[in-house]
Structures are given as structure tokens and as C-alpha cells.
Structure 1
Amino acid sequence: MPVFRTPSLFAKKIFSLPVENISVEYLTAKENLLYYSELFKLKLSDRKIKDILQSYNLFEETDFSVTFSTGMKKRLDLAILDMIAPEIILLDEPSLGLDVYHVDFLRKQILNYKKLGKTVIVTSHDMALSEKIADMIYLFSEKKIIAYNAKDVNSEEIVLESYKDHD
């Protein structure tokens, strides 16, 4: 279970979703939203909580503890993120372990964050997702930037080419 101190103003402006889920497994989806709303000192009505759960297709699961699939846990994490509404969003390997439906759901959410004017920074090995959502791509190999603004090039080929230097 994640253990947090009361978030600072900084934490409310910048929020990071790590690879591991931030939801508390023994709580229901609704209880997780209530937990985070209390933690971040958010004043949300029951209606707002219900709307958030419904928008993430989690409403039916609110009576069960979070023994969800990986995709459902990711949707709950994104619901928590939306509730906090930071200006800058950091996502670490957000598509890891997700099926096609949930990767598409994630992609749409990231594009929606961008439409809302939020800054979204994603670290990922998922080149297909990265190329669909990114305004700019940095490719790294051996702790070095090997390509900058690589959106219009074959990212996979550039990365594979960089490994030839190590053989």
C-alpha cells in the first residue's frame, strides 16, 4: 500500500503515475477516490465521485475491493489522476501489461489531457503508443540521447542501429 504525506502545492501541480499502481488493493474503487480526495484535500461531492467512476467504466466495480485486472487498475489510477487534476503529468511505462482495449483507452486519455492544455511526459518502451501521442520524442540508448524530435522517423530502426555500435 502506498504511504504518503500530505501533498504539497507542488505535488498538486505535478503528479506522477509510476509503473506500479497507486490504488490501495483492499479498498474499492470509490474508497480509493475518497482516500486520495482526502489526502489531497479535495472537496468532491458524491455526484462528482460517481461521475469520475462512470467516465472510467468503474462504476459497477465500486462495491468490490481492487482485485481488478491490470487494465482496470490503470483506469482507476487515471481516474485518481483526473480527480487531482495536475497541470503536469508524468507517466512511467503507462501501457505496460495492458491489452489492446486498455492501451487505446490510455491513448485517448493522454490525448485528452493534451487538449486540456496539460503537459504530459511519458517514459515508455512502447514505440507505437509513443508515436501516436507524442509531440516530441527523445530516444535514449546507453544513457545518451540518440535522436531528438524523432516523431517523423523510424524510431525502432534508430534504436536498433544504436546497438550495432556495441557489438
Structure 2
Amino acid sequence: MPSVAEIIVKTLVKAGVKRIYGIPGDSIDPLMDAIRRNKEIKYVQVRHEEGAAFAASVEAKLTGSVTACMGTSGPGSIHLLNGLYDAKMDHAPVVVLTGQVESDMLGHDYFQEVNMVKLFDDVAVYNQIVINPKNAGYLIWRAIHEAKSKSGVSHLNLPVDILRMDGEEYDADLDPQK
């Protein structure tokens, strides 16, 4: 059974995402590994998370296709906001994946724990935390669908332990017109 990280990457590829922009970090290591193993998507490392969000925004505006960026927990994800507001203002379809501390540490004021759902509420047309690995396939599908159909930013917050767990794929058509 594939991990949640593998399901997310596979679903992004199925949706036509060619690149994902970001900077590595502990809380997104499972995603980095899934991207490395998937030969159909390219990871583009930038020098600052803000650059990752701007790159995804510009690519979406130039191509009209959904794009993706990611940031690690805490400050890594906070730095994405400026570029994501650029995407929001220009109605660019961007999926943003943010790392998070282990799910059992949420609410403990753990190192680099930030309430990402609250933080991304204004910038995102869709904004969820994945707390059940069985639901991850649907949530990434929904994030892509909402970014495409509403021409905006979709955000998924991903606790690192959930990324490592076995998940369930959601096999649905990613075309928002259908």
C-alpha cells in the first residue's frame, strides 16, 4: 500500500503537475523521498520559500495549469505567503503543501508548530489539515480540483507522521469541468 506522501505525488502527476518548488526540511522529508522516486515530476529547489511560491504562481499564470510548491513546518511555510498572495490576486491555480509536526504533538507548542490552517485561511480557496491517512487521497484530489475550478490557492497541511503512513488513493477525474 502506498504512503500518503506517495499518493500525494502520484495525484499531482495525474493532474499534470510537472514541477514542485520548495526547500527541503524535516517535516516534508517523506514528500521529498516520494518526489525523488517518481520520475514524472521534477523537484526545483529554490533559495527561499518565497521564491518557491512565486515560481509556482508565475508558472500557473503562464501555463494556465495547476502548479505546486511546498514548505517545511513553521517558518518555512510562513515564508510562502507572499508568493501565494501573488497567486491569489491573479487567480493562479496553485497547490501548496506545508509540513507539520507529528500529529500527536499538535497543540503542545512543539518546536516549529504553527496553526497553518488558520494562517492560510485568507489566501486559500481550499484549506485543510490531513489528520487521517485514509482520507489523504481524497483531500489532495479535492485541493487540486478546488485550485483548478476556483482559480486559486489550495492548501494542505501535512503532519510528518501522517505522510509516512499507508494511505488510500482516491480515483476520480481531476477535470473540474466534469
Give me the TM-score of the superposition, normalised by structure 2: 0.34
Higher relative contact order (CA 8 A, sep 6+): 2
Give me the TM-score of the superposition, normalised by structure 1: 0.35
Higher strand proportion (structure 1 or 2): 2
Larger radius of gyration: 1
